[in-house]
Chain A
Amino acid sequence: MLSATNITKSFQTNCTPNQVLRGVSVDIAEGEFLSIVGRSGSGKTTLLNVLSTLVRPDEGNLVYQGNALSSCSDSQLNRLRQADFSIIFQFHHLLPYMTVLENTLLPFMNTLKPISRNLHNKARKCLDRVGLGALENRLPGNLSGGEQQRVAIARALVKSSNVLFADEPTGSLDKETGGQIVGLMSDLNRDGLTVIMVTHDPEYAQCGNRTITMEDGLIVP
């Protein structure tokens, strides 16, 4: 479904190039729950960003459902992130000045066309599924970290995404809440959603079908 081959990526740090990915190759099958683990600075978040098309690799090929993403234009990648990919982050998953329902519907607010009643209903069902049905009019500032993360997951559900990228989704949560979030992602994965999760925690990583470990910009065999 999603395949990365010989991906390299370097960033400039104090005018010196810092190679973060050194030829990483990985294949992710449809419906898979892949956990990426590794120490800080090992390149796991950069790999997730490359796979989710937020960062373009310096070299290497990225193929999604048979289409080479390396040669896609910015607008094609935007469409892909809008339709097929969903990304959740460790912090700041939501716009703080919009309600829970509005944040859930944010991917559909990019035109002047009003959002349909059907999408509203779908968003409410998704919020119900993540247990936030009663909080749709709240602002993110009035939610706990776990609840905010669930809103981000509900947003992915409304989009009917194929792949959910999660960058340390439990990093800012306590153990119990973190467990609930990973459990929710596992449930969604069982329903067919492909999940790629970066985590520090080996316990959460075990919830996936497969775990890869990164070290110094490479996947440890």
Chain B
Amino acid sequence: MNILTIPLRNIRRKPSRSCMLLLIFTLGVMSIVALYQVSQVVGSSLEKKLNAYGANIIVSPAAERLSVSYGGFHMGDMLYDVQSMSERETLHNIRSIALNDRLSVVAPKLVSMTRVNDIAVALVGVYWEAERSLKSYWGVEGEFPADRSQILLGRKAAAQLNLTIGSTITLMEKEFVVSGVLFETGNDDDTVILMNLATLQELTGKTDTISFVEVAALCSGCPIDDIVGQIDKQLPGAEIKALRNVVNQRMASINFVQRLVLSISMVILITAAAMVSLSMLSAVNERKKDIGLLRSLGYGKWQVFTIFCLEAALIGATAGVLGYLSGFWASFHALEFLTLAGDITPVFSFAHLMLTCAIIVMVTILAAAYPSWQGAGIEPSEALIAL
């Protein structure tokens, strides 16, 4: 027996009132937890889907840019002192950053030029698996290359070279078969010939060399600047460019979902807190006699205040546990019903459970604080009138 016995017994004394309050708060917590879990899963799922639309970081060799103009004739910007990048070292350094778990795709590329029937074309060496993850919007007529003797053509390049699926073409004295042609993408991929990166390295004699790397990073929970900063630290000689517009656009979509959830959660929490506050206010008025008796027994204002707050905190803690567990369960059903999750599922975290309980206990205590203090402030003489 201690000070906790009094609120515990009082909760037991009015089971219907206590259960109703507990139910309201549990439903509130359940809604918040379910919304949070759904928003996290939807955010991750959305991010994954959005990342299918390409890279958001470009890693390229450092180069000096010079704007050349002489005698009123402008020759445009020229790059000089372009450094090449080692494939092995660059990929190793990118993948060893602290936030490497946020790197979704790392796609190295080698770009070279050649002439086919006096037509200049760009050759791009890629790793098919990484490239297809990065550009899942690609559609192809025919097949993606299955071995190193096959190539993939951009739509305009195929038209320009007059090649179709199954045609053969000699590039740098080596024969290749066209396995497929990309549907028009509207970007640079339309005008190039894509082939295996290692093959192009061999043809050009640039073993272990790449021109640049495209990186798709998952940005929820960490700013793109952190990832860029870490890559920059690992590759001091390279130029790291974050495609901020792309990132911002993606983050805006995810942030919208999360802000919406936060707003709804706040409304639910405030409503539940108001219910606790009202309930405690009526409890204080009902229990003036109890307050008078406790004060006559030598209980101070703080002790009476503590009794009322403990009562709210007990309901809050129970609602926190029940609400978290039921909210977690409800999130599975909500995701299933909305068919939003894909292959991502909510993750149970004991730390989240404890944090939820702590927050809910704080909210209930805050909600109960004013009526409790009013109750505690009743002078014994005033409370005795009720006796």
B249 touches A (CB below 8 Å): no
B12 touches A (CB below 8 Å): yes
Asked if B1 and A115 make an inter-chain contact with CB atoms under 8 angstroms apart, the answer reads yes
Shortest A203–chain B CB gap in Å is 24
Asked if A102 and B5 make an inter-chain contact with CB atoms under 8 angstroms apart, the answer reads yes
Q: Given that A98-B5, A110-B303, A114-B2 are known contacts, is A82 also in contact with B293, CB under 8 Å in the complex? A: no
Asked if A81 and B290 make an inter-chain contact with CB atoms under 8 angstroms apart, the answer reads no
Asked if B298 and A78 make an inter-chain contact with CB atoms under 8 angstroms apart, the answer reads yes
A45: nearest chain-B partner, CB-CB: B384
- B384 contact from A49, A81, A94, Cβ within 8 A: A49
Asked if A80 and B298 make an inter-chain contact with CB atoms under 8 angstroms apart, the answer reads yes
Within 8 A of A (CB), among B283-298: 289-290, 293-298
A83: nearest chain-B partner, CB-CB: B298
Instruction: Please name all residues of chain B whose beta carbon is closer than 8 Å to the beta carbon of A91 when the two chains form the complex.
Output: 387
Instruction: Please name all residues of chain B whose beta carbon is closer than 8 Å to the beta carbon of A52 when the two chains form the complex.
Output: 296
Asked if B300 and A75 make an inter-chain contact with CB atoms under 8 angstroms apart, the answer reads yes
Asked if B298 and A109 make an inter-chain contact with CB atoms under 8 angstroms apart, the answer reads no
Bound together, the chains give a CA A48 to CA B297 distance in angstroms of: 15
Bound together, the chains give a CA A113 to CA B295 distance in angstroms of: 19
Q: Given that A54-B381, A92-B387, A105-B1 are known contacts, is A82 also in contact with B297, CB under 8 Å in the complex? A: yes
- A114 contact from B1, B294, B387, Cβ within 8 A: B1
Per-residue 0/1 for A102-121: is the Cβ within 8 Å of any B Cβ (1 yes, 0 no)? Answer: 10011111111111000000
The total of chain A residues at the interface (CB under 8 A) is 37
Shortest A24–chain B CB gap in Å is 16
Shortest B365–chain A CB gap in Å is 16
B374 touches A (CB below 8 Å): no
Asked if A110 and B299 make an inter-chain contact with CB atoms under 8 angstroms apart, the answer reads yes
Within 8 A of B (CB), among A127-170: 155
Asked if B297 and A98 make an inter-chain contact with CB atoms under 8 angstroms apart, the answer reads no
Asked if A106 and B3 make an inter-chain contact with CB atoms under 8 angstroms apart, the answer reads no
The total of chain B residues at the interface (CB under 8 A) is 26
Asked if A110 and B298 make an inter-chain contact with CB atoms under 8 angstroms apart, the answer reads yes
Asked if A107 and B13 make an inter-chain contact with CB atoms under 8 angstroms apart, the answer reads no
Q: Given that A75-B300, A92-B293 are known contacts, is A110 also in contact with B387, CB under 8 Å in the complex? A: no
Interface of B is mostly: helix
Asked if B3 and A112 make an inter-chain contact with CB atoms under 8 angstroms apart, the answer reads yes
Interface of A is mostly: loop
Per-residue 0/1 for B365-387: is the Cβ within 8 Å of any A Cβ (1 yes, 0 no)? Answer: 00000000000000011001001
Asked if A107 and B298 make an inter-chain contact with CB atoms under 8 angstroms apart, the answer reads yes
B9: nearest chain-A partner, CB-CB: A97
Per-residue 0/1 for B228-272: is the Cβ within 8 Å of any A Cβ (1 yes, 0 no)? Answer: 000000000000000000000000000000000000000000000
Asked if B6 and A55 make an inter-chain contact with CB atoms under 8 angstroms apart, the answer reads no
- A54 contact from B4, B9, B290, B380, Cβ within 8 A: B380
Asked if B2 and A81 make an inter-chain contact with CB atoms under 8 angstroms apart, the answer reads no
Shortest A103–chain B CB gap in Å is 9
Shortest A14–chain B CB gap in Å is 15
Q: Given that A49-B381, A81-B296, A92-B293 are known contacts, is A113 also in contact with B2, CB under 8 Å in the complex? A: yes
Asked if B299 and A102 make an inter-chain contact with CB atoms under 8 angstroms apart, the answer reads no
A120: nearest chain-B partner, CB-CB: B1
Instruction: Please name all residues of chain B whose beta carbon is closer than 8 Å to the beta carbon of A113 when the two chains form the complex.
Output: 2
Bound together, the chains give a CA A111 to CA B365 distance in angstroms of: 18
Instruction: Please name all residues of chain A whose beta carbon is closer than 8 Å to the beta carbon of B282 when the two chains form the complex.
Output: none
Asked if A55 and B300 make an inter-chain contact with CB atoms under 8 angstroms apart, the answer reads no
Shortest B6–chain A CB gap in Å is 6
Instruction: Please name all residues of chain A whose beta carbon is closer than 8 Å to the beta carbon of B384 when the two chains form the complex.
Output: 49, 54-55, 89
Bound together, the chains give a CA A52 to CA B380 distance in angstroms of: 11
Asked if A98 and B6 make an inter-chain contact with CB atoms under 8 angstroms apart, the answer reads yes
Within 8 A of A (CB), among B3-26: 3-6, 9-10, 12-13
A191 touches B (CB below 8 Å): no
B301 touches A (CB below 8 Å): yes
- List of 8 A-B pairs having minimum Cβ-Cβ separation, nearest first: A82-B298, A97-B13, A81-B298, A55-B381, A54-B380, A78-B300, A97-B9, A115-B1
Binding site for A on B (CB under 8 A): 1-6, 9-10, 12-13, 289-290, 293-301, 303, 380-381, 384, 387
5 further contact pairs, Cβ within 8 A, besides A97-B10, A98-B9: A78-B298, A98-B6, A102-B9, A109-B3, A111-B2
Q: List 22 A-B residue pairs with CB atoms under 8 Å apart, sorted by A's residue number.
A: A52-B296, A74-B301, A78-B295, A79-B298, A81-B296, A82-B299, A87-B296, A87-B297, A92-B293, A94-B293, A97-B9, A97-B13, A102-B1, A102-B5, A106-B297, A107-B298, A109-B2, A109-B6, A110-B3, A110-B300, A112-B3, A112-B4
